[in-house]
Structure 1
Amino acid sequence: MDVQKYLARIGCSGPCPPTLDTLRYVHLNHVLTVPFENLTIHTGGRVRLELPLLYEKIVSMRRGGFCFENNGLFSWLLSKLGFDVTILSAQVRNRFTGVYGPPFDHFLMMVKLDGHRWLCDVGFGSGFQLPLSLETDSAQVQSHGVYRLRSQGNFIFMEMNSDTEPEGSYCWRELYKFTLEPRERDDFKPMCDYHQTSASSLFFCKSLCSLILPSGRITIMGRKLIVTSLPTKDEQYTTKTTEDLSDEEITEILREKFGIVLQSPLTPKDVEIVPPPPIY
C-alpha cells in the first residue's frame, strides 16, 4: 500500500500519527469521499477481497465498494498508520424485510486506543460519520444522526435515532448487531459471494451508489436518484426527494457527483428482495 496515495484519495494531508484526532479525521474523510456502492455486481464483474485488488479499485480507480471492500481496505490503512485494529463480524437488519442477515453479513472493526475502544465503520450505507465509543450505551450525537451501542446478551446493537419527539426523546431503529469476537479477513469470503448471487441480498437485488454529503446524502438505486437533506435551523425533520433517471443521466451523475467512470455498461436493477429464513 502507498499510504500517502490512499490518504490523498480521501482528502487527508499532513502527518497522521495513531491518535484519536487522526482516527476521526480519516474516518470522516473516507465516508465523505468514497462511495458506498455495488456497481461491480451489476456491470458483469465479481467482487474479490484480496487487499491489492481493493486498493487498485478504491484508490487507483477511484471507485467505492460495499462493506467488505470499504472496511476491508480501511482496516488495512489503520493498521499501516499504527492503530490496534480488530476485525469484527455483524448481522445487518434488512430495512426492506426486517430480517437479520447471517453471521459475517457485515465487516466492521474495533480500534483500541489509549485504553478506549472505538467502533469504526466506513462501509455501511446509512452509518455513522465518526467512530463510536464502545465504552458507553448513551446516545452519541453526530452531524447526520444520533447513534447508540446497546448491549443485550452476547450482542451489541448499533442503533440510529429514526425520529425526534418534541420532548427530545429518541425512537431507536436497529441497524445491525455484532459481537467483539476477533475475525479474520478470509472469514467473510463466503458471505461476499452470497451477496453477489442471492435473491435475499440487497446487493444482488438492487444496484446502488450512495455518498454522505455535508448537507445530507445522495443515492442512486436502480433508476432512481434519491437526495436526502438534513434539516436547516428553521426545520425539524430530514427531507427526501426522488427522481427517475435515464441511462444517460445515471452515467452523468455517477461521474459528476460520485467521481465514478465505469469500464463496463451498468444494468440498473431494483427488484423485490426475497426474505431469508429468520436468524436470531
Structure 2
Amino acid sequence: MTTSEPPTSEPVGAEPFAADATTVEAYLRRIGARRPERADAAALRELHLLHLRAVPFENLSIHLGEPVVLEEKALLDKVVGARRGGFCYEVNTAFAVLLRGLGYEVALLQGRVIGPHGKPGIPYDHMALLVETAEGERWLADVGFGDHSHFPLAFDARDDQEDPGGVFRIAETADGDLDVSRDGKPQYRLEPRPRELADFAAGAWYHQTSPDSHFPRSLICSRLTEEGRITLSAPKLIIRVHGEREERVLDGDDEVRKAYRELFGIELDVLPAVRSGILNSDPE
C-alpha cells in the first residue's frame, strides 16, 4: 500500500480530546461495562479486560484502503460508532479518551517492539498508556498489543507480575527506558517520557506502508475471550480454548464474512485482501 504523503494528525501541542458524557456512556456500552463510581485500580482492571474482549486488535483498514487517522474523534467513531477495532495507535488512543472521561490521568508512551533477534524496532513502533488512578497509583495499560496481559501492569513494580496472560516484568534499562517482558521474553521497550498523539504519525504511517512491517503483509483480527482467544487471518481461523488450539480454513467469502460478523461484530460489505498476496503463516 502506497500513497503520496503521510497522514496528518492533530497539531503538536493540541489539548487531548475531551469526551462528553454521551460519548463515554456509548463507549461503556460498546465494551459491556458500567460506569465506575471511582477512577481506581479495580475499575481500571475491569475496563481493561472488557475492552480486550470486546474490541478486536485488527489491521483491516490497511487492506480495505481506509485511511488510519490519528485523531481522537475519528478513532471514537471507528471503535464505538462503527464497532471496529484497530492496531495499537487506534485502540490505545480511544481507550485513553474513555479513561480520561472517567477521571483517570493518562499519558501516551512510545515503545519499540523487540524483534526475534532481540533488537528494538523503530521509534514509535508501539503505543502504550501510563494511567494514574484517583489514589495516585500508576499502571501500564495496553489494549493494543494483541496477545498480552489481560490486566494493567503496576508501572513502578520491578518484580514478577502474575497475569492470566503470563508472568510479566517491567525492568529499567541502562538508558532509563523500560523493558516489558512476558514469561522471560522481552516484548517491547518503553520510553517513560509522555508523548502527544501527533508524535505517533510517522510510526503509524510506517506500519501502514512499509514492506518491512508485517501489517501490510498480513490480515489480523483477534480478540480475547473468556476461554482463550479467537484470531482470524482470513481465510484461516484460529480458536484457542483453555490452552487447546483449533485451526481451520474457512470456505469462501460468505463464511469469512460470517466469521467477522459473528465472532467480532464487524459487518463488511467488501472483504479486506492483502494486496501483496503474502500472508504470515501464523499470525499468532
For the aligned pair, the TM-score class normalised by the smaller chain equals: 0.7 to 0.9
Q: Structure 2 regions of 5+ residues with no counterpart?
A: 1-18
Q: In the alignment, is residue 156 of structure 1 matched against residue 181 of structure 2?
A: no
SS of the residue corresponding to residue 40 of structure 1 reads helix
- Rounded to whole Å, the distance in 2 between the matches of 1:54 and 1:44 is 16
Q: 1:15 to 1:136 in 2, by over 3 A?
A: closer
Q: In the alignment, is residue 192 of structure 1 matched against residue 209 of structure 2?
A: no
Q: In the alignment, is residue 265 of structure 1 matched against residue 277 of structure 2?
A: no
Q: Percent identity?
A: 37
Q: Kindly provide the amino acid, as one letter, of the partner of residue 65 in structure 2.
A: G
SS of the residue corresponding to residue 60 of structure 2 reads coil
- Rounded to whole Å, the distance in 2 between the matches of 1:94 and 1:109 is 21
Please, which moves more after superposition, 42-51 or 144-153? 144-153
Q: Cα distance, 1:25 vs. partner? A: 1.5
SS of the residue corresponding to residue 254 of structure 1 reads helix
Which among 206, 210, 216 is matched to residue 228 of structure 2? 216
- Rounded to whole Å, the distance in 1 between the matches of 2:40 and 2:69 is 31
Q: Kindly provide the amino acid, as one letter, of the partner of residue 118 in structure 1.
A: W
Match of residue 140 from structure 1: 161
Q: Kindly provide the amino acid, as one letter, of the partner of residue 38 in structure 1.
A: N
Contact 1:27 / 1:120 at 8 angstroms: preserved in 2?
A: yes
Which among 150, 154, 176 is matched to residue 188 of structure 2? 176
- More strand as a share of residues: 1
Q: In the alignment, is residue 249 of structure 1 matched against residue 269 of structure 2?
A: no
Q: Cα distance, 1:56 vs. partner? A: 0.8
SS of the residue corresponding to residue 181 of structure 2 reads strand
Q: Cα distance, 1:132 vs. partner? A: 0.2
- Rounded to whole Å, the distance in 2 between the matches of 1:142 and 1:183 is 27
Match of residue 117 from structure 1: 138
Q: Cα distance, 1:264 vs. partner? A: 3.1
User: What's the CA shift string for 1:39-91, capped at 9, x where partnerless?
Assistant: 01111212111111111111011111100000011111111111111110000
Match of residue 277 from structure 1: none
User: What's the CA shift string for 1:213-261, capped at 9, x where partnerless?
Assistant: 111111112421112233xxxxxxx332321223322211111111011
Contact 1:46 / 1:196 at 8 angstroms: preserved in 2?
A: no
- The runs of at least 4 consecutive aligned structure 1 residues that moved more than 6 Å come to none
Matching of residues 5-44 of structure 1 within 5 Å: 5-44=26-65
Q: Kindly provide the amino acid, as one letter, of the partner of residue 268 in structure 2.
A: L
Match of residue 128 from structure 2: 108
Q: Cα distance, 1:270 vs. partner? A: 4.1
- Rounded to whole Å, the distance in 1 between the matches of 2:28 and 2:53 is 13
TM-score w.r.t. structure 1 length? Answer: 0.85
Q: Structure 1 regions of 5+ residues with no counterpart?
A: 162-171, 231-237, 274-280
SS of the residue corresponding to residue 128 of structure 1 reads coil
Match of residue 13 from structure 2: none
SS of the residue corresponding to residue 29 of structure 2 reads helix
- Rounded to whole Å, the distance in 2 between the matches of 1:48 and 1:144 is 30
Contact 1:42 / 1:267 at 8 angstroms: preserved in 2?
A: yes
TM-score w.r.t. structure 2 length? Answer: 0.84
Q: Cα distance, 1:16 vs. partner? A: 4.1
Q: Kindly provide the amino acid, as one letter, of the partner of residue 210 in structure 1.
A: S
- Rounded to whole Å, the distance in 2 between the matches of 1:148 and 1:239 is 26
Number of aligned positions between the proteins = 255
